[in-house]
Amino acid sequence: MPKLYREFTTQAQIDAQYNPSLALADASAPGKHFVAAAHKARSSLKAHLDIPYGPTLAETLDIFVADAPNAPVYVFLHGGYWRSLSSKEFSGVALGLQPLGITTVVVNYALCPFVTLAEITRQCRAAVAWTLRNIGQYGGDASRVGVGGHSAGGHLSAMCLQTDWDTDYGLPRDPLKAALLISGLHELEPLRYSYLQPMIQLDEHTIRHYSPAQNVRACPTPTWVTWGGAESTEFARQAASYHAAATALGNPVELRAVPGADHFSVIHGLEDSASPMSQWLAEKLKAN
């Protein structure tokens, strides 16, 4: 039987690797957790919600501000395979960071198939640029901005690291002080043969130009590439692929799994100030 991608010969094999809900006893449990954590964050933390960063209705962000002025900033890009979920399910990522003196910006963006993956990438880059230019109005320190995301958001965060911020946006070439890439999709080709293809509609151009592992540029931003230790072998390989490409250029990139975490619980660390994930961000952004 001919191979679709690497050693995989059927869509079912690829779906088993890339549909993490298949391994759950209760597929609704992660969503319930995130919604509850998001509600807690919005009801307990000071926030500025639904701030527009671009011209379309989907281009908004929520800012959860630190107590002290001139706070470091973490821009979070959510997952959902570019075709589901929104910023509102992920307000909870601010719960672990706000007590550490970090302001958290949670970005919303339009979804496939209504827009392309290229347009989603553009929107996320625009959100980061908006943050760099405007976060001072909300008590943030524009010189200490990090970016990161989960799953599709890990992919989008990697694309932000590969942005020509100077020539495209008139910003410093490397304006970001830290990047946290969590269970990211760094090679898009296998998804073309998965259950996701009817929604995300990947073509050769998109796969070639929007696969971060194939388009890494030299970048001094300290980066942690991570995934859940209980995730599929493909998520581990995706992380290793990006790490290898980045370190080959001399980029300061760590490769380290979150032990025992699955694809959904891997970001629970952002809800806990004492977690290695929150502490890593605080160290790199030099939070109080």
What letter does residue 149 receive in the DSSP assignment? E
Quick check: 201 and 112 in contact, CB under 8 A?
A: yes
Residue 187: how many CB atoms within 10 A of its CB?
21
The number of CA neighbours under 13 Å toward the Cβ of 214 is 11
In which residue are the tokens 């996320």 written?
124
In which residue are the tokens 């979150």 written?
258
pLDDT for 159: 98
pTM, full prediction: 0.98
pLDDT digit string (tens) for the chain, length 288 residues: 889 999 999 999 999 999 999 999 999 999 999 999 999 999 999 999 999 999 999 999 999 999 999 999 999 999 999 999 999 999 999 999 999 999 999 999 999 999 999 999 999 999 999 999 999 999 999 999 999 999 999 999 999 999 999 999 999 999 999 999 999 999 999 999 999 999 999 999 999 999 999 999 999 999 999 999 999 999 999 999 999 999 999 999 999 999 999 999 999 999 999 999 999 999 999 965
pLDDT for 213: 98
Quick check: 224 and 258 in contact, CB under 8 A?
A: no
Cα separations in angstroms, 175 against 109, 134, 141, 144, 283: 22, 14, 12, 8, 17
- Cβ-in-10-Å burial (0-12, 13-18, 19+) of 69 comes to exposed
The encoded tokens of residue 251 equal 């980029």
Among 63, 90, 78, which residue's Cα sits nearest to residue 123?
A: 78
First-to-last C-alpha distance (Å) of the chain: 57
Cα separations in angstroms, 124 against 54, 85, 158, 165, 253: 10, 15, 11, 13, 22
Q: List the domains of the chain with CATH numbers.
A: 11-285 (3.40.50.1820)
Rounded distance, CA 209 to CA 205, Å? 6
How far is Cα of residue 235 from the mean position of the Cα atoms in its chain? 14
